[in-house]
Amino acid sequence: LAAALAPLLAAFRAPRPTPGKAPGRASFDRTHRGRRIQGTRTADGHWHVTVDGRPLHLMRRADGTWLSMVDHYCSYPTPLAAARAAVDALAPGERLREAGTEPRHEHGGGRHGVRA
């Protein structure tokens, strides 16, 4: 009986990756819908992500998932998935804002973090 249960017990004891963490991955460089998405994990564990060279602000949620300022109503398991969703939300010709040009306290339902 112990031999039969050993693999099952080992599976419960094996460490599992937490949502939002990509074990061993410190960077990515992908093209999604014709846009270049790059991300690098910094030494302090944060991610620096850009879309076509412009910064995409990501935030980590308490449950380990990620959201972006472009698509901040949904959570994604990884920074790359959040960046892909942000690209999906951008209209053709629309680009992320340059750092420091975002409006302060805009709550009029506009598209945060993007500019045509």
- Residue 47 belongs to what domain range? 24-91
The answer to whether residue 79 sits within a structural domain is yes
The pLDDT value recorded for residue 11 is 56
Question: Does residue 114 lie in a domain region?
Answer: no
> Is residue 44 assigned to a domain?
yes
pLDDT tens-digit readout, 26-43:
899 999 999 999 999 999
The total domain count for the chain is 1
pLDDT for position 78: 95
Asked whether residue 1 is assigned to any structural domain, the reply reads no
Name 110's Cβ contacts closer than 8 Å, sequence gap at least 6: 103
How confident is the model over 42-79, as pLDDT tens digits? 998 889 999 999 999 999 999 999 999 898 789 999 99
Model-level pTM greater than 0.85? Answer: no
Position 18 in a domain: no
Which CATH number covers residue 80?
3.30.1880.10
